[in-house]
Amino acid sequence: MTDKTQLQGGCLCGAIRYQTSAMPFAADHCHCRQCQKHTGAVVASWMDFKTEQVSWTKGTVNEYPSSEYVRRGFCPDCGSTLTYRDTRHPDYTTMTIATLDKPSQVQPTYHIHTDSQVSWLVIDDDCKRFPQGCTEESNS
């Protein structure tokens, strides 16, 4: 896909919609406890964009300050997890891959916070793994 490719997505109820003007520059699976609790899943899959590449076409994301610098975005109507934002990196927007209309368009290339991975989850892929975060490739 080219940089002109637009991805589209939104929340479960349709109150929030977005589109992107490019493919993400990174995508990962995060196993940290905060992502697990925020999404209600044992792993969260994220994609990273430059903020100007994301356009909100319907609705407004609410944010919860989950730590000093992290804001986790969700739909105020249905509660769908949509975004992760680190206030120290205002030029980047991280979004959940599962909210894409076609989530198979984006494939993660690495796992982060695998030290928090649940013991019964067996991962059989060739993605790189990082016990903690990977600041070079992701801000999730």
pLDDT tens sequence across 53-111: 999 999 999 999 999 999 999 999 999 999 999 999 999 999 999 999 999 999 999 99
Task: Tell me whether residue 102 is in a domain.
Answer: yes
CB-facing half-sphere around the CA of 31: CA atoms within 13 A: 19
Question: For residue 133, what pLDDT band results from cuts at 50, 70 and 90?
Answer: confident
Task: Tell me whether residue 128 is in a domain.
Answer: no
Considering the chain, what percentage of its residues have pLDDT values greater than 70? 91
Task: Tell me whether residue 105 is in a domain.
Answer: yes
Tokens of residue 78, six digits: 């249905």
Task: Tell me whether residue 52 is in a domain.
Answer: yes
List the domain range (segments joined by +) for residue 80: 8-123
Task: Tell me whether residue 3 is in a domain.
Answer: no
Determine the pLDDT at residue 4.
62
Q: At 93, which CATH number?
A: 2.170.150.70
Predicted confidence (pLDDT) per residue in 12-47, tens digit? 999 999 999 999 999 999 999 999 999 999 999 999
Compute the mean pLDDT over every residue in the chain, rounded to the nearest whole number: 92
